[in-house]
C-alpha cells in the first residue's frame, strides 16, 4: 500500500462578491469523503482574508495520499459576515489523485453555486519532504516610508515558498506592526 504525505495550497480568483458595502471576506473549508460511509467530514479550513476576491491563503492542508484509494475532496468557499454568520460563495469537488496527477500538481476548478460559476479555486499539491530543521528569525526594519497620508502605515512581512517550477506559495505572514521601524515576533 504505497502512500506519501502531501500538502495542498489553495487560492481563489474572481470570487463573486457577496457583500454590499465592501468585498467578501473568504475562507475555504476542505472536506474529505469517508470511503465507507461516503459522508464528507470537515478536514480543515483556511484563515479568513478580509475584503479580497482573489485570496492566496497561507493555511495549507497536509494529508496522506494513498495511491490505490479514491480520496474525494470537497471545498466550500464561504464569506464570513460575523462570528456567527456566513454566506456560501460556492463549492468545488475533485479527488486527491486528480490534484497530484495534474501537470505541476496544479488544478483549477470552477467554484459553483447551483448552476452559476462564482469564481475559480486553484489547488496546488506538493509532496512533503520530511526534515527536522527549524528556522527561527527576528526581523527588524528601519525607516519604512509611510504609505498613507491619513492612516498609520502598519507593515507586515509575507514569506513565500518558491518551488522548482517557480510557483510561489504563501508560507507565512507576520503580524501587522504599527511602526515604521518594526520588530516582528520570532
Phi and psi at 152, nearest 5°, equal -80, 135
Cell (9 digits) for 164:
522548482
Quickly count helices (H) and strands (E) in the chain.
Answer: 1, 10
Alpha carbon distances (Å) from 94 to 52, 54, 55, 99: 24, 21, 20, 8
pLDDT digits (tens, 9 = 90+) for 121-162: 999 998 887 777 788 888 898 888 877 766 677 888 888 877
pTM of the model: 0.75
CB 178 within 8 A of CB 184: no
142, three cell numbers: 528601519
- Dihedral over Cα of 143, 144, 149, 151: its sign: negative
7 near 60, Cβ under 8 Å? yes
Length of the chain: 186
**Grid cell 509532496 in the structure block, residue:** 127
The whole-number pLDDT of residue 143 equals: 86
Give every residue of the chain whose pLDDT is below 70, as ranges.
1, 149-151, 163-165
Amino acid at each position: 500500500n504505497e502512500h506519501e504525505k502531501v500538502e495542498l495550497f489553495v487560492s481563489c480568483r474572481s470570487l463573486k462578491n457577496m457583500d454590499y458595502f465592501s468585498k467578501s471576506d473568504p475562507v475555504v473549508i476542505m472536506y474529505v469523503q469517508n470511503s465507507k460511509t461516503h459522508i464528507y467530514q470537515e478536514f480543515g479550513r483556511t484563515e479568513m482574508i478580509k475584503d479580497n476576491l482573489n485570496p492566496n491563503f497561507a493555511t495549507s492542508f497536509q494529508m496522506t495520499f494513498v495511491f490505490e484509494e479514491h480520496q474525494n475532496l470537497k471545498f466550500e468557499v464561504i464569506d464570513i459576515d460575523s462570528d456567527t454568520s456566513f454566506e456560501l460563495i460556492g463549492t468545488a469537488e475533485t479527488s486527491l489523485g486528480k490534484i497530484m496527477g495534474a501537470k505541476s500538481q496544479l488544478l483549477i476548478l470552477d467554484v459553483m453555486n447551483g448552476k452559476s460559476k462564482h469564481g475559480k479555486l486553484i489547488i496546488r499539491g506538493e509532496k512533503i519532504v520530511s526534515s527536522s530543521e527549524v528556522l527561527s528569525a527576528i526581523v527588524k526594519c528601519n525607516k519604512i516610508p509611510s504609505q498613507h497620508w491619513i492612516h498609520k502605515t502598519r507593515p507586515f512581512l509575507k514569506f513565500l515558498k518558491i518551488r522548482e517550477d517557480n510557483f510561489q506559495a504563501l508560507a507565512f505572514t507576520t503580524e501587522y506592526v504599527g511602526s515604521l521601524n518594526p520588530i516582528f515576533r520570532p
